[in-house]
Amino acid sequence: MTARRHGIDWRLAPAGAFLFILPFSHTVALRLACLFLAAVVALQATWRQERPDLPCRWPLALWAAVCALSLAWSIDPAYSRKELTNEVGYSLLAFLTFFYLTRDERSWRFWKAALAAGCAAASLAAIGHLVRIPLWPDDGLVGGRNEFSTYVALVMPLLAVSFAQAGRRRERLAVLAIAVLAAGSAYFTLNRTMWLALFAEAAILGWLHAGRSAATGRRRAARTFILLAACIAFAGAFVAASQMKSGAEEIDAQTLRATVERDLRWQIWSYGIERIGERPLLGHGYGRGILRDDFRAHIDNPFAWHAHSVILNYALEAGMVGVVVLFVLAGCFARTFWKLYRAPERGVWMAGAFGLALLLGAAVKTATDDIVVRENALLFWSLAGMGLGYARHASMRPRDRDEPAA
């Protein structure tokens, strides 16, 4: 890429704009236009150059093939076709685009800046609404409760890496402020699973970083303090959100247990398992809402239109074959990121740690609600692609001066 001015490659602008607008509502056409332009730039950039081997290409192809083949037995082919386009087609396009566009330190920094700016802007927009109306803006400028809480859970590992790679104190403070702003605004979604995901991400990042970092003295103590403070804050926020949702004046173990027992998900999961038994091998066809009308009628709740679990949804959509393929794909990515984490170069192992935290956060967040879809699916696959692309670059430049010493 040569179209640079003042150190910025302006051909990265469509991809940067795509990352910036992801958390904002009513931007579907704009985000897809930016994604397509970014894909064209990626294609042009790699057309006459040696393209790197794509990690996990065979599990990715198998996953896409199984999802596409479900059209043959789908009970609603038109719906499955639309979902395949959105959740498989666009997701793979985002993954490939950011894998091939993340070719140097400049692009990696640009992605981090675009995501941080978008996260800050969306958080401020949510807070601006909450100051006027103390209810989450489900139809406002940012996504609904589930969408925004999932966005924060997915973007937080990248903010953590940005903090670790920041070369100046003011940069670290800016990243820390954005992370606090995002978590603080997302608290008002009252989504409890987000705090479990953030806790898991903080724990694994702390463990992985402690195993590789050469930091000593005050720097190690400062990072340990930040990690412990984050874990305590996430645990406290989970309890507080549970108390607000339960309506109890005080929260204790008995109240938490009663809240869990009353959760509508038990009924949803029971019905989902019952319907899986009808087509256990191949499922009913791709799309988490393939049985949306049946779920709504049985549960008698307009929001209960799918199984609220990524594993149960895949079993409903593509049967046990789909579930096995999903685990194969997740296992391949986990193995790839673990191998990167074991590499000697700092940039590579940090990309590996980032990828493992991203996978764990997504797994926790989707355990009780299949919400990594649409804009958040695009975010997840973009993050995975850029993490793998950056690791490839860092492995070829282990002494890159843009990264501070540990």
Which helix (H) or strand (E) element contains residue 5?
strand 4-5
Q: Please state, in angstroms and rounded to a whole number, the distance separating the CA atoms of residues 336 and 363.
A: 17
Read off the pLDDT of each residue in 285-301 and give the average, rounded to a whole number: 95
Q: 306-365, pLDDT tens digit by residue?
A: 999 999 999 999 999 999 999 999 999 999 999 999 999 999 999 999 999 999 999 999
Helices within 247-366 (DSSP H only)? 253-261, 265-276, 292-299, 310-341, 346-366
Query: Do 3 and 9 contact (CB within 8 A), yes or no?
Result: yes
- Helices 375-396 and 145-165 sit at what angle, rounded to 10 degrees? 10
What pTM did the predictor assign?
0.93
Q: Note the pLDDT of residue 213.
A: 72
Q: 79-124, pLDDT tens digit by residue?
A: 999 999 999 999 999 999 999 999 889 999 999 999 999 999 999 9
Query: Do 106 and 6 contact (CB within 8 A), yes or no?
Result: no
DSSP three-state, residue 8: strand
Q: Please state, in angstroms and rounded to a whole number, the distance separating the CA atoms of residues 293 and 312.
A: 17
Read off the pLDDT of each residue in 282-304 and give the average, rounded to a whole number: 95
Total H helices, total E strands in the chain: 16, 2
Query: Do 195 and 241 contact (CB within 8 A), yes or no?
Result: yes
* Average pLDDT over the chain, rounded to an integer: 90
Q: Please state, in angstroms and rounded to a whole number, the distance separating the CA atoms of residues 65 and 322.
A: 10
Q: Note the pLDDT of residue 8.
A: 65
* pLDDT tier at 10, thresholds 50, 70, 90: confident
- Is the pLDDT reported for residue 405 higher than 50? no
Query: Do 378 and 155 contact (CB within 8 A), yes or no?
Result: no
pLDDT above 90 covers a percentage of the chain that reads 72
Q: 200-252, pLDDT tens digit by residue?
A: 999 999 999 888 876 666 777 777 788 888 889 999 898 888 777 766 666 66
Q: Note the pLDDT of residue 330.
A: 98
- Is the pLDDT reported for residue 49 higher than 80? no
**Strand 8-9 vs strand 4-5: parallel, antiparallel, or unpaired?**
antiparallel
DSSP three-state, residue 9: strand
Read off the pLDDT of each residue in 380-387 and give the average, rounded to a whole number: 98
